[in-house]
Structure 1
Amino acid sequence: MLPSFKLHMHHAILDRLAKVGKYDGTHPSLTCGTSSGKVFLHNPHDKNEDDAAQAVRFLNINRDVSALCVGKFRDQDAGDTLIVGTHANILGYNVEKNSDAFYKDVPDGVNTMLFGTLPNIPSRMVMVGGNCSIQVRAEITPSRRGNEELVVGSDDYEIRAFQAEDVVCECSETGRIVDLTSIQRHLFGYALDNGTVGVYKNSHRVWRVKSKNIPTSITAFDINGDGELEVRGYLFEGNAPDGTSKDGGGAATSLLADEISAEEKEVQALIKAKAGLVGQLKAYENASLKTTKGTNVRVATTTKYDHLNKLDLYGFNRVCVSTLVKRYLLTSIAITASTTISHENVELTVSTENESVIKMIVIFDYDAGIFDGESLVIRPATPAPKATVQLPTLKKNVAATLHFRVGNRGNGNVFHVFEETFALPKFADFFPLKAAPPVRPSGCVKFKRPIRMQQVQPWVKASFLQTDVLRVSETDVDDYNSIRLKLTGDMADDSNQLKHLVIRAEDARILHDIMRSYYAELFTLNNQLLGEYTKRATNHQALLDALKDVNGMIQLAARLRHGQPKSAVILACRKAIKANNIHALFYIVKTGREESR
Structure 2
Amino acid sequence: MIPAFQFALGHQVLQGLVTVGRYDGKRPCLSAGTTAGKVLIHCPHNRVENPQNEVMFLNINRKITSVVTGMLNPALQRDVLMVGTQTSLMVYDVEENADLFFKEVHDGVNVIAFGHLPAIEQPVCVVGGNCSVQAFDAEGSELYWTVTGDNVSSLAFCDVDDDGHPELLVGTEDFEIRALKSEEVLKEITETDVVIRIEPLHKCRFAYALMHGTVGVYDKLSRAWRVKSKNRVNCIDCFDLDNDGVPELIAGWENGKVEVRNEKSGEVMCKDYFQAPVAALVHADYRLDGRETLMCLTSEGDVRGWLPSSSGAEHSGLRSGVAAQEAKENDNWRDLQAQKAKLTQELASFKEQLKQYKSDGKETGQGVIPTDTKLNASLKANKAHGTVELHLMTTNYSVIRAVVIFAEHLFDGEACMLHPLPPSNNVIVQISPAKDVQTTMSIKAMTGVTVSSVQYHVFELNYVMPKFAMYHQVDEAPVPSGTVNFVVQERPNHIWSWLQRSFISIPEQMPAPSGANVLEVNFISLRTNEPLCITVSKEQAGLMTIRTDDMETAGEMVQDLCNFLQVTELESTANFPAEMEKFQQVLTRVDEYNAVRMKLTAEMADSANLVKALIVKAEDYRMLSDMQHLKKAFSSLQQTNSDLIAEYNKRANNHQQLLAQLKEVNMMIQKAAKLRMGHAKSRVVAACRQAIKQNNIMGLFQIIRTGHDASG
Question: What TM-score comes out, normalization by structure 2 length?
Answer: 0.44
Give 3-state SS (helix, strand or coil) of 1:263's partner: strand
Give 3-state SS (helix, strand or coil) of 1:17's partner: strand
Deviation at 1:84, TM superposition (A): 2.6
Distance in 1 between residues matched to 2:74 and 2:648, nearest whole Å:
50
Deviation at 1:281, TM superposition (A): 0.7
Distance in 1 between residues matched to 2:166 and 2:109, nearest whole Å:
23
Hey, what does 1:176 align to over in structure 2?
A: 194
Q: Bigger shift: 208-217 or 536-545?
A: 536-545
Offset from partner CA, 1:26-63 (integer Å, 9 cap, x none): 33222222132222222222353696x86222222333
Deviation at 1:219, TM superposition (A): 0.9
Give 3-state SS (helix, strand or coil) of 2:231's partner: coil
Hey, what does 1:24 align to over in structure 2?
A: 24
Q: 1:47 to 1:187 in 2, by over 3 A?
A: same
CA contact (8 A) 2:208 2:215 kept: yes
Give 3-state SS (helix, strand or coil) of 2:15's partner: coil
Distance in 1 between residues matched to 2:109 and 2:89, nearest whole Å:
7
Q: 1:585 to 1:44 in 2, by over 3 A?
A: closer
Hey, what does 2:40 align to over in structure 1?
A: 40
2:217 to 199, 204, 221: 199
Q: How does 1:370-409 map to 2 (within 5 A)?
A: none
Q: How does 1:284-323 map to 2 (within 5 A)?
A: 284-287=306-309
Hey, what does 1:66 align to over in structure 2?
A: 65
Give 3-state SS (helix, strand or coil) of 1:123's partner: coil
Give 3-state SS (helix, strand or coil) of 1:25's partner: coil
Residue 240 (str. 1) matches residue 291 (str. 2) = no
Give 3-state SS (helix, strand or coil) of 1:252's partner: strand
Hey, what does 2:240 align to over in structure 1?
A: 222
Q: 1:592 to 1:211 in 2, by over 3 A?
A: farther
1:282 to 284, 290, 304: 304
Q: 1:569 to 1:205 in 2, by over 3 A?
A: farther
Hey, what does 2:14 align to over in structure 1?
A: 14
Residue 79 (str. 1) matches residue 78 (str. 2) = yes
Offset from partner CA, 1:348-387 (integer Å, 9 cap, x none): xxxxxxxxxxxxxxxxxxxxxxxxxxxxxxxxxxxxxxxx
Which residue type is aligned with residue 155 of structure 2?
Answer: A
Hey, what does 2:178 align to over in structure 1?
A: 160
CA contact (8 A) 1:38 1:62 kept: yes
Deviation at 1:82, TM superposition (A): 2.4
Distance in 2 between residues matched to 1:221 and 1:139, nearest whole Å:
16
Hey, what does 2:130 align to over in structure 1?
A: 131
CA contact (8 A) 2:292 2:308 kept: no
Hey, what does 1:102 align to over in structure 2?
A: 100
Distance in 2 between residues matched to 1:25 and 1:113, nearest whole Å:
21
Q: 1:244 to 1:557 in 2, by over 3 A?
A: farther
Deviation at 1:550, TM superposition (A): 4.8
Deviation at 1:171, TM superposition (A): 1.8
Q: 1:577 to 1:71 in 2, by over 3 A?
A: closer
Distance in 1 between residues matched to 2:643 and 2:63, nearest whole Å:
30
CA contact (8 A) 2:236 2:249 kept: yes
Hey, what does 2:454 align to over in structure 1?
A: none
Q: 1:60 to 1:74 in 2, by over 3 A?
A: closer
Hey, what does 1:510 align to over in structure 2?
A: none
Residue 544 (str. 1) matches residue 659 (str. 2) = yes
Hey, what does 2:164 align to over in structure 1?
A: 146
Distance in 2 between residues matched to 1:133 and 1:110, nearest whole Å:
10
Q: 1:595 to 1:88 in 2, by over 3 A?
A: closer
CA contact (8 A) 2:262 2:269 kept: yes
Distance in 2 between residues matched to 1:531 and 1:50, nearest whole Å:
44
Distance in 1 between residues matched to 2:233 and 2:165, nearest whole Å:
30
Give 3-state SS (helix, strand or coil) of 1:137's partner: strand
CA contact (8 A) 1:161 1:170 kept: yes
Distance in 1 between residues matched to 2:652 and 2:22, nearest whole Å:
42
Offset from partner CA, 1:203-223 (integer Å, 9 cap, x none): 222222222222222111123
Distance in 2 between residues matched to 1:595 and 1:75, nearest whole Å:
40
CA contact (8 A) 1:28 1:269 kept: no
Deviation at 1:12, TM superposition (A): 0.5
Q: 1:44 to 1:61 in 2, by over 3 A?
A: same
Distance in 2 between residues matched to 1:284 and 1:177, nearest whole Å:
27
Deviation at 1:188, TM superposition (A): 1.3
Which of these two proteins has the greater Rg computed from alpha carbons? 1
Distance in 1 between residues matched to 2:701 and 2:77, nearest whole Å:
54
CA contact (8 A) 1:14 1:35 kept: yes
Deviation at 1:8, TM superposition (A): 0.9
Deviation at 1:132, TM superposition (A): 4.1
Give 3-state SS (helix, strand or coil) of 1:69's partner: strand
Distance in 1 between residues matched to 2:292 and 2:204, nearest whole Å:
35
CA contact (8 A) 2:93 2:99 kept: yes
Distance in 2 between residues matched to 1:17 and 1:575, nearest whole Å:
33
Question: What TM-score comes out, normalization by structure 1 length?
Answer: 0.52
Deviation at 1:176, TM superposition (A): 1.6
CA contact (8 A) 1:221 1:229 kept: yes
Give 3-state SS (helix, strand or coil) of 1:24's partner: coil
Give 3-state SS (helix, strand or coil) of 2:663's partner: helix
Hey, what does 1:313 align to over in structure 2?
A: none
Offset from partner CA, 1:262-282 (integer Å, 9 cap, x none): 435335659999xxxx95011
Q: How does 1:441-520 map to 2 (within 5 A)?
A: none
Residue 5 (str. 1) matches residue 27 (str. 2) = no
Residue 263 (str. 1) matches residue 283 (str. 2) = yes
Q: 1:543 to 1:259 in 2, by over 3 A?
A: closer
Q: 1:549 to 1:175 in 2, by over 3 A?
A: farther
Q: 1:75 to 1:528 in 2, by over 3 A?
A: closer
Q: 1:584 to 1:210 in 2, by over 3 A?
A: farther
Which residue type is aligned with residue 150 of structure 1?
Answer: L
Deviation at 1:170, TM superposition (A): 2.2
Distance in 2 between residues matched to 1:24 and 1:35, nearest whole Å:
26
CA contact (8 A) 2:209 2:236 kept: yes
Question: Which structure 1 segments of 5+ residues have no match?
Answer: 290-493, 495-500, 503-518
Q: 1:244 to 1:104 in 2, by over 3 A?
A: same
Question: Which structure 2 segments of 5+ residues have no match?
Answer: 134-151, 294-299, 312-620, 622-627, 630-635
Aligned residues: 364
Q: 1:268 to 1:156 in 2, by over 3 A?
A: same
Q: 1:564 to 1:172 in 2, by over 3 A?
A: farther
CA contact (8 A) 2:132 2:666 kept: no
Hey, what does 2:269 align to over in structure 1?
A: 251
Deviation at 1:542, TM superposition (A): 4.3
Deviation at 1:553, TM superposition (A): 4.9
CA contact (8 A) 2:291 2:307 kept: no
Q: Bigger shift: 551-560 or 85-94?
A: 551-560
Q: How does 1:302-451 map to 2 (within 5 A)?
A: none
Q: 1:559 to 1:247 in 2, by over 3 A?
A: farther
Which residue type is aligned with residue 24 of structure 2?
Answer: D
Q: 1:12 to 1:145 in 2, by over 3 A?
A: same
Taking only the aligned residue pairs, the percentage that are identical comes to: 39
Q: 1:167 to 1:27 in 2, by over 3 A?
A: same
Q: Bigger shift: 278-287 or 574-583?
A: 574-583
Distance in 1 between residues matched to 2:74 and 2:289, nearest whole Å:
22
Offset from partner CA, 1:80-101 (integer Å, 9 cap, x none): 322333334333333333x204
Distance in 2 between residues matched to 1:579 and 1:83, nearest whole Å:
29
Deviation at 1:200, TM superposition (A): 1.7
Deviation at 1:16, TM superposition (A): 1.5
Residue 57 (str. 1) matches residue 56 (str. 2) = yes
CA contact (8 A) 1:179 1:190 kept: yes
Q: 1:155 to 1:583 in 2, by over 3 A?
A: farther
Q: 1:585 to 1:271 in 2, by over 3 A?
A: closer
